[in-house]
């Protein structure tokens, strides 16, 4: 892929980001940040190729560490986002109080 095509993708995606994220209400700014953080854990894709490509010992070890770091980022990021969003309850009145706010906790 040429650099210019990549720039197209980057800039258009940036615009989409501005338009979509600009509409997120302040209420959800914290989950927004953990969500974008989880999504950018997509570096995992690059880490996987680095770790599995048999590029020599040092590269494999660096790739391995990168996979660990990125996987932690992805797993923790999506789980915490889900946990937080599970806490935001609709303003429906008389719903009782919320002890059951933990989505997937054991």
Site residues for other proteins, window 39-58 (CB under 8 A)? 39-56, 58
- The least distance separating other proteins from the CB of residue 75, rounded to whole angstroms, comes to 3
Q: Is 27 in the site for other proteins (CB under 8 A)?
A: yes
Least distance (Å) between residue 12 CB and other proteins: 8
Q: Could you tell me the smallest distance in angstroms from the CB atom of residue 37 to other proteins?
A: 5
| Max CA distance (Å), the chain | 62
Structure tokens at 81: 């986002």
CA distance 83 to 15: 28
Residue 20 phi, psi (nearest 5)? -75, -50
Report residue 70 as tokens. 């990125």
Instruction: Please report how close the Cβ of residue 8 comes to other proteins at its closest, in angstroms.
Output: 10
- Cβ-contact 67, 7 below 8 angstroms: no
Binding status of residue 97 toward other proteins by CB under 8 A: yes
Site for other proteins contains 94 (CB under 8 A)? no
What string marks each residue from 67 to 86 as x (binds other proteins by CB under 8 A) or -? xxxxxxxxxxxxxxxxxxxx
Per the document, the length of the chain is 106
């Amino acid at each position: 892929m040429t650099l210019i095509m990549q720039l197209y993708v980057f800039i258009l995606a940036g615009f989409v980001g501005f338009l979509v994220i600009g509409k997120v209400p302040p209420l959800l700014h914290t989950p927004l940040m953990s969500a974008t953080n989880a999504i950018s854990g997509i570096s995992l894709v690059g880490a996987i190729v680095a770790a599995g490509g048999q590029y020599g010992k040092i590269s494999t070890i660096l790739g391995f560490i990168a996979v660990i770091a990125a996987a932690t980022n992805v797993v923790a990021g999506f789980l915490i986002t889900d946990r937080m969003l599970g806490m935001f309850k609709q303003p429906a009145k008389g719903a009782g109080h919320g002890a059951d706010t933990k989505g997937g906790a054991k």
